[in-house]
Structure 1
Amino acid sequence: MTASIHFLVTSLFNKIGRGGLLLLIGLYLVTPLGVAAQDGFETEKQLNYFRIWGFVKYFHPASALGQVQADSLFLAYLPKVDSAANQKQANLVFRQLLRAVGVPQGEKVKAQKNEPKGAFLLKNLDEAWRTKNKFLSSENRKLLDQIFEHRFTGEKHYYTYVRNNPFGGTMPHEPEYAYKPEENLPYPLRMLALAKLKAFIDYLYPYKHLLDENWDAVVGQYIPLFAQCSSREQYERLLLAVNARLDDTQAYPFFRQLHYREKLFKNHFFPPFDYQLAQQKIIVTAIIDEALCKRSNIRRGDVIEALDSVAVGEWGQALNAVLSVSNESALWARVGEWGDNLLFRSEDPVMQVRLTRGEEQLTTTLRLMDPSASAKAKLIDSYFKKKLAPPAKKNKGLVYAAKGIAYFRIDDTFRMIKDETSEEDFRLMDSLFTRAAKGKGMIFDMRGEPDNSDFVYYYAFKKFGRPNHYFARYYQLNPHHLGTYRLLTQPEVYYPTEITPEDVVYPGKVVLLVNGATHSIGEWHTMSLQRLFPGSITLGQPSAGADGDVKKITLPGNYTVGVSGNGVYYPNNAVTQRLGVRVDEEVQPTVKGILQRRDELLEKAVELINGEGKNEVKE
Structure 2
Amino acid sequence: MKKIILYLLIVFSQTISGQVKLFENQKLAATCKVWGYLKYYHPKVANGDFNWDNKLFEVLPQVEKAQTKEEFSLVLEKWIDALGEVKEIIPIIPSKEIEYFDKNFDLSWISNNELFSKKLFAKLKFIENNRFQGQQHYVESDYAENIFLKNENFDNLNYIDKNSRILVLFMYWNVMEYFFPYKYLMDQKWDTTLEEMLPVFIQAKNEGDFYIAMQKLTVKLNDTHAVFYKYNSENLYYFPTNCKIIDEKLVVTEILADSLAETDDIKIGDVITKINNKTIKEIILENRDLIGGSNESVYLRNIVEPILSGDSDTVKIEFLKDSKNTTRTINLHNYHDSHKNKYVKGRIKKEKIKILENNIGYVDMGILYVKNIPEMIENLKSTNAIIFDMRNYPNGTYDEISKFLNSKEKEYIIYTKPDLSYPGRYKWSKPRFCGSENKNNYKGKVVVLLNEESLSQSEQTAMCFQTGDNTTIIGSQTAGADGNVSNFEVIKGVFTRFTGIGVYYPDKRETQRIGIIPDIEIKPTILGIQQGKDEVLDRAIQFIETGK
Matches within 5 A, 1:90-489: 90-113=72-95, 115=97, 119-154=99-134, 156-162=135-141, 165-168=143-146, 170-177=148-155, 184-252=159-227, 254-255=228-229, 257=231, 259=233, 268-271=236-239, 273-279=240-246, 280-284=248-252, 285-286=254-255, 288=257, 298=266, 301-337=269-305, 341-343=306-308, 349-351=314-316, 353-357=317-321, 359-371=322-334, 379-380=337-338, 382-386=340-344, 389-390=345-346, 398-414=353-369, 416-417=371-372, 429-430=373-374, 432-433=376-377, 435-450=379-394, 452-453=395-396, 455-457=397-399, 459-465=400-406, 469-489=410-430
C-alpha separation in 1, matches of 2:74 and 2:216: 33
Match of 2:11 in 1: none
Alignment match of 1:66 (pick from 30, 45, 48): 48
Match of 1:30 in 2: none
C-alpha separation in 2, matches of 1:104 and 1:466: 56
Gaps of 5+ in 1: 1-38, 263-267, 372-376, 418-428, 614-619
Shift of 1:360: 3.5
Given that 1:287 and 1:293 are in contact with CA atoms closer than 8 Å, whether structure 2 keeps it comes out as no
Given that 1:297 and 1:364 are in contact with CA atoms closer than 8 Å, whether structure 2 keeps it comes out as no
Given that 2:313 and 2:333 are in contact with CA atoms closer than 8 Å, whether structure 1 keeps it comes out as no
Matched, 1:597 2:532: yes
C-alpha separation in 1, matches of 2:39 and 2:243: 46
Q: 1:366 to 1:392 in 2, by over 3 A?
A: closer
Shift of 1:103: 4.6
Give the match's secondary structure for 2:420.
coil
Given that 2:417 and 2:501 are in contact with CA atoms closer than 8 Å, whether structure 1 keeps it comes out as yes
Give the match's secondary structure for 2:122.
helix
More displaced stretch, 558-567 vs 186-195? 558-567
TM-score by length of 1: 0.78
Q: 1:495 to 1:96 in 2, by over 3 A?
A: farther
Identity of aligned residues (%): 25
Give the match's secondary structure for 1:143.
helix
C-alpha separation in 1, matches of 2:476 and 2:277: 28
C-alpha separation in 2, matches of 1:277 and 1:95: 55
Q: Which amino acid aligns with 1:243?
A: T
C-alpha separation in 2, matches of 1:474 and 1:53: 29
Given that 2:225 and 2:497 are in contact with CA atoms closer than 8 Å, whether structure 1 keeps it comes out as yes
Give the match's secondary structure for 1:225.
helix
Structure with bigger RCO (C-alpha 8 Å, 6+ apart): 1
Q: Which amino acid aligns with 1:129?
A: W
More displaced stretch, 218-227 vs 282-291? 282-291
Aligned residues: 526
Give the match's secondary structure for 2:393.
coil
C-alpha separation in 1, matches of 2:219 and 2:434: 34
Q: Which amino acid aligns with 2:278?
A: V
TM-score by length of 2: 0.87
Shift of 1:97: 1.5
C-alpha separation in 1, matches of 2:374 and 2:249: 43
- Please, what is the CA RMSD of the aligned residues? 2.9
Shift of 1:558: 4.1
C-alpha separation in 1, matches of 2:367 and 2:60: 53
Q: Which amino acid aligns with 1:411?
A: G
Give the match's secondary structure for 2:362.
strand
Q: 1:125 to 1:286 in 2, by over 3 A?
A: closer
